[in-house]
Amino acid sequence: MTIRVAHLYPEYLNIYADRGNIAVLSSRARWRGIGFEVEPISVGDELRPGEHDLLYIGGGQDREQALIAPDLAARGDAIRESVAGGVAVLAVCGGYQLLGRFYRGRDGVELPGAGLFPHETVAGARRMIGDCLLACELDLGTRATLAGFENHAGVTRLDDGAEPLGRVAAGFGNDGESGFEGARVGSAVGTYLHGPLLPRNPWLADWLLARALEHRDGEAPELGPLPDGLEQAAHVVSAERAKSRGGRF
């Protein structure tokens, strides 16, 4: 079995070392004997709904976001159809912003979004930066924590009733006020946590792999455990740094 991945705009949205998320997913699939194929999808390339099992989009500066925003927005129907059909999505930072309805910069220029996540983002006056710790569930049957690094001036407001990725235990999150971080729609998750995210949170990598395999095979697999001692140690270090900032919510 092989997981098919579409990496959206890798030559534009590639800061913060978030390509490492693809490396983590690829390695954890390979260690379990699962194939993992990555296809770069850039401006003008075709994205056919359901052809891939996982869509990945990273972060970039405002200039790079402006370059790809119209093309990404034009793919909104295909992306929403893919997610409705069970395709998994991981969107990070700038990619997370542009999968909402729009991103409005400090200059007042509004970049169109793909409309997957029920949120809007505007550039704020302060930079929200530092280690961040979340509590989230994601159909795990128990609450788990996500630890990562946030660095954004964008203020993202979720619609009433929208599902966040998690609740902030320490850090700023989407807007520094609501106590929410990220967003979730089905098997699609978006977040401001990067640096990259998955090396410190292997359980989320496995959740995404399981969702991608469910799309490919029609049923959710039981992924066997891996020796994650180093990953868990990295999670603890990041979580403790976040806690040292003090809880905000």
CB 6 within 8 A of CB 41: yes
Catalytic residue among 119, 152, 194, 215: 194
Q: Residue 36: which of 51, 23, 17, 20 has the closest Cα?
A: 23
**DSSP type of residue 194:** B
132 included as an active-site residue = no
Q: Is 156 helix (H, G, I), strand (E, B) or coil?
A: strand
Q: Residue 182: left (phi > 0), alpha (psi -120 to 50), or beta? A: left
Is the Cα torsion angle 158, 53, 135, 239 positive or negative in sign? Answer: negative
Catalytic residue among 7, 93, 119, 136: 93
> Rounded CA gap, 75 and 203, in Å?
29
194 included as an active-site residue = yes
Q: Residue 205: which of 48, 64, 56, 52 has the closest Cα?
A: 56
Catalytic residues: 93, 194
